[in-house]
Each structure stands twice: as structure tokens, then as C-alpha cells.
Amino acid sequence: MSKKHYKNQPTVLETIVVGIFKGLWWLIKLPFRGLKKKSGISATDKLAINKKRSEIDDLAKSDNMIELKHAVMEADKLVDKVLRLKGYGDGTFADRLKKAEQYTDRKIYQDLWDGHKVRNRIAHDESHISENELKQAAYKLLGYIN
């Protein structure tokens, strides 16, 4: 009685050889695990962030409600970008912010949540938001960006 060998199925010997090489590769990589490039903000990113922050500052100084709402939306997007660049992962803004909590000053963390809540009111509600509240939200969000 002969064994049938399927064309695309590896033999036992091939499986053993591949396993040995995978094990060796794992051993070779082991000392280099901690040397992966960390997520961070490059000099180019910092320049772009500072430029955008300056634009948002100008919008937040306005008395125009549309510009103030725009300032809050843009500040929220900028904080989100910084959170991504710092390596706080994918998902939603809230997911990234929760991951950043232990690395962020408690007051700044709460300010980020407060500013993001105002942003959500702008995006999802049509309720009235005062000029002062919009300005505070924009500056709270920008407080995270040095």
C-alpha cells in the first residue's frame, strides 16, 4: 500500500527543515527586538504641527462663530494627528486618548476630553454653543500641543 502525496502538501522532512529555520531565525532576531524604531514626531512633522497650531490660534482669536467652530474642529484634528504620531494606535480619537491617559498630565487629559466633547457637539448637535465655550475648547485642545 503506497501513500498518496499531494502536489502542494509539504513532506514531513520539508516541514521539519522549515521549522528548524524558523526557530533559528527567531533566535537570531531575539537580541534585536528592543531596537525597533519607536513612534515619534519628526522635525518635519513638528514644523507642520506648529504651522497648523498658529493657524488655529488665529481662528480662535476671531469673534466669528463659524471661524471659532472651525478652530475647534481643526484643533481636534491636530491633536488626533499628534496622538497618531506618538504611536497611540488606530481606532477612534477616544481610543487613542484612552491609550495616552497614563502618559498625559491629568488636567491636560481632562481638557482634551472637554474640548473633544465640544467638537462632538459641533459635529453632531445643532445646539447653541457660546463664543466663550468655543474659544475655551480650542485652547484646551491646543494645550496638549507644545
In this prediction, residue 31 has a pLDDT band, given cuts at 50, 70 and 90, of: confident
pLDDT at 113: 95
For residue 8, the model assigns a pLDDT of 77
Provide the pLDDT for residue 42.
Answer: 87
Per the CB < 8 A criterion, the answer to whether 104 and 144 are in contact is yes
Residue 59 has which C-alpha cell?
481662528
At 44 the pLDDT is: 92
- HSE-CB at 97 with a 13 A cutoff on CA atoms is 21
Q: In angstroms, rounded to a whole number, what is the distance separating the alpha carbons of residues 39 and 88?
A: 9
Arithmetic mean of pLDDT, 122-129: 86
Q: Domain boundaries in the chain?
A: 43-142
Tens-digit pLDDT profile for residues 63-108: 999 999 999 999 999 999 999 999 888 789 999 999 999 989 999 9
Cα–Cα separations (whole angstroms), residue 130 to 105, 122, 133, 137: 27, 11, 5, 11
How confident is the prediction for the chain on average, in pLDDT? 88
Q: CA 65 to CA 86: how far, in whole Å?
A: 32
Q: Does domain 43-142 have CATH number 1.10.10?
A: no
pLDDT digits (tens, 9 = 90+) for 32-51: 765 544 557 888 999 999 99
Taking only Cα atoms into account, the Rg of the chain, rounded to an integer number of angstroms, comes to: 25
Give the pLDDT of residue 5: 57
Mean pLDDT within 7-14: 83
Task: Please count the residues of the chain.
Answer: 146
**Burial of residue 55, with CB atoms counted within 10 A of its CB: 0-12 exposed, 13-18 middle, 19 or more buried:** middle
